[in-house]
Structure 1
Amino acid sequence: MGYLNQNTGYVNDLLSTRAVIKKDNFAIIPHDGLVNNVIPGFEQCDVTILASPKLGASFVDYLVTLHNGGNNNVGFGGGEIECFMYITKGQVVVEAEGKKHTLTAGGYIYCPSGVTLYFENDNQGNDSQAFLYKRKYQPVAGHQAHVVVNHIDNLEKVHYEGMTDVIVEDLLPKTLGFDMNFHILTFKPGACHGYIETHVQEHGAYVLSGEGVYNFDNNWIPVKKGDYLFMAAYSPQACYAVGRDESFSYIYSKDCNRDVEI
């Protein structure tokens, strides 16, 4: 079923998967079937590349498991690349611009272009896990981004488009220096989007909790905690939260604050 679930070797049933890949449109990638990618700079880490330009994304998303001593001391991002790291489990020490910060689950760091991110597992010999992102930054005259270090406990919980059972959290500032943002949407069981969205923005999303039924280009597909979701530009999208007690919640990226280049 894949290295991440520690379920490999002989199978006792038919080979099957919940993964759905529609390049340049949408994708659902569950934990089952994920493979480990060897990437220079990532030491004592298992790294899965989730979305990339090969799928149709303008960004790259990763799921990184940092084992005892896991680190990237070579550096991630820098140059023209902006990057983002969100801790899903454990504790990680991150460094940017010569400053170190300790992030626990729910903590995150954004580094603009020109700033390199370094990180190391700090979870007392246990594994940590992180959702990692990179993208080529689109500068605009008179504005610039900056390093952001924060935790979701510090964020304002806003009723999404006036709906009290749907909460949105904005992880980055809404200023023109930032050409993208990260958000967390949380739906109580039974809640849903107010309409099916169709827009120029693309998303890469990682499901943090619960279960839902998601509309991908008018295909209603069940998803759950641990699934990775990709939605390309103009792919119709919306969801219902299902289940009994646990809210359906996911973190996702969105390109913003720029005109379309032609």
Structure 2
Amino acid sequence: MGYRTNELGYPNDLLASRSIVERGNFALIPPQGLVKNVLPNFENCEMTILATPKLGAAFVDYLCRVLPGGGNKKGFGGNGIETFIYCLEGELTVTIGAETYELTTGGYAYCPPTESLKFENKSNEKTETFLYKKRYQEAEGYAPYPVTGNTNEMDYQDYEGMTDVGLKDLLPTDLNFDMNFHILKFETGASHGYIETHYQEHGALMLEGEGLYNLDNHWLPVREGDYVFMGAYNLQAGYSVGRKGALTYLYSKDCNRDVEL
């Protein structure tokens, strides 16, 4: 199995972790302790499974390190499952249906539930990616479609009237989509305008910086590389407090649909 951080051998100190897991509510999972998984169809990929229904999420998040020549040529998702891939570092060739896209660092692709997402690392270096899948919630008269882009080519928009908090929407905000991905950036000292409590879930990967995050009124330190799951109605808000620049993270949110009974 092995650890994602490749920290092998005898421990140098007492066993300890910053991980906190409250199933169905929230979780903070740092890189240390994450393991590699071997999954069908992911060839030469070091897979790490993050949020799942066992944690309480209605989606699945992964970290996927695609080694040179590796990828998923058979397809990921489809048959009612929508997927999303974000290139954290490196290069990746992505195929959705008959179309092929070249992703570099900051690049992403959304694949609708009618297609499967295929990808391959044709470079000589490893490529770090973030993967997501969820069963699409249909709505009469609406249908999603492939979307690609690169966050490095997008401008931040002021978030809820605050000039030191920026937001990037990675997908269109129309009703064809039942979810979205965003990047949220807090300059040092910035925070949410209030503590949120809502029905939507989030899976968030810290991309840069350091901060404090309120998870169900537990103020916890977070930093680059940490993964945070926020379940429905979990109290949540963040501050950027580190000395390494802005706190920036990538996160998903279900949206645009009524509650099913």
Does TM, normalized by the shorter one, top 0.5? yes
**Residue segments in structure 2 that go unaligned for 5+ positions in a row:** none
* Cα deviation code 1:180-231 (max 9, x no counterpart): 0000000001100000000000000000000010000000000000000000
* CA distance in structure 1 between the aligned counterparts of 2:156 and 2:162, rounded to whole angstroms: 12
Shift of 1:135: 0.1
SS for the counterpart of 1:68 is strand
Give the secondary-structure state (helix, strand or coil) at the position aligned to 2:12.
coil
Q: What is aligned with 2:83? A: 83
* Cα displacement (A) at 1:149: 0.8
* Structure 1 pair 145–38 and aligned structure 2 pair: CA distance change class (3 A): same
Q: Which residue of 1 aligns with 2:176?
A: 177
What's the secondary structure of 1:3's corresponding residue? coil
Paired residues of 1:65 and 1:130 also in contact (CA < 8 A): yes
Q: Distance in 2 between matches of 1:205 and 1:61?
A: 9
Corresponding residue for residue 191 of structure 2: 192
1-side partners of 2:193 and 2:122: how far apart? 41
TM-aligned CA deviation for residue 156 of structure 1 = 3.8
Aligned length: 260
Matched with 1:157 is 156
Distance in 1 (alpha carbons) for counterparts of 2:23 and 2:163:
35
* 1:109 partner letter: A
Q: CA deviation at 1:154?
A: 3.2
Give, in angstroms, the shift of residue 131 of structure 1. 0.4
CA contact (8 A) 1:155 1:170 kept: no
Equivalence for 1:220: 219
The Cα offsets for residues 52-87 of structure 1, whole Å up to 9 and x where unpaired, read as 000000000000001121110110011110000000
8 Å CA contact 2:210, 2:243 repeated in 1 = no
Tell me the residue number matched to 2:105: 105
Indicate the RMSD between aligned Cα atoms, in angstroms: 0.9
Mean Cα deviation higher: 156-165 or 195-204:
156-165
Using structure 1 for the length normalisation, give the TM-score.
0.97
Structure 1 residue 245: Cα displacement:
4.1
The residue that corresponds to 1:201 in the other structure is: 200
Unaligned runs of 5+ in 1: none
3-state SS of 2:109 partner: strand
- Sequence identity, in percent? 54
Give the Å deviation of 1:242: 1.1
Letter in 2 for 1:84: F
State the secondary structure of the residue aligned to 1:194. coil
Structure 1 match to 2:236: 237
Worse overlay, 197-206 or 149-158? 149-158
Tell me what 2:255 maps to. Answer: 256
TM-score, L = length of structure 2 = 0.98
Question: What is the rounded CA distance, in whole Å, between the counterparts of 1:99 and 1:44 in structure 2?
Answer: 23
C-alpha separation in 1, matches of 2:54 and 2:9: 28
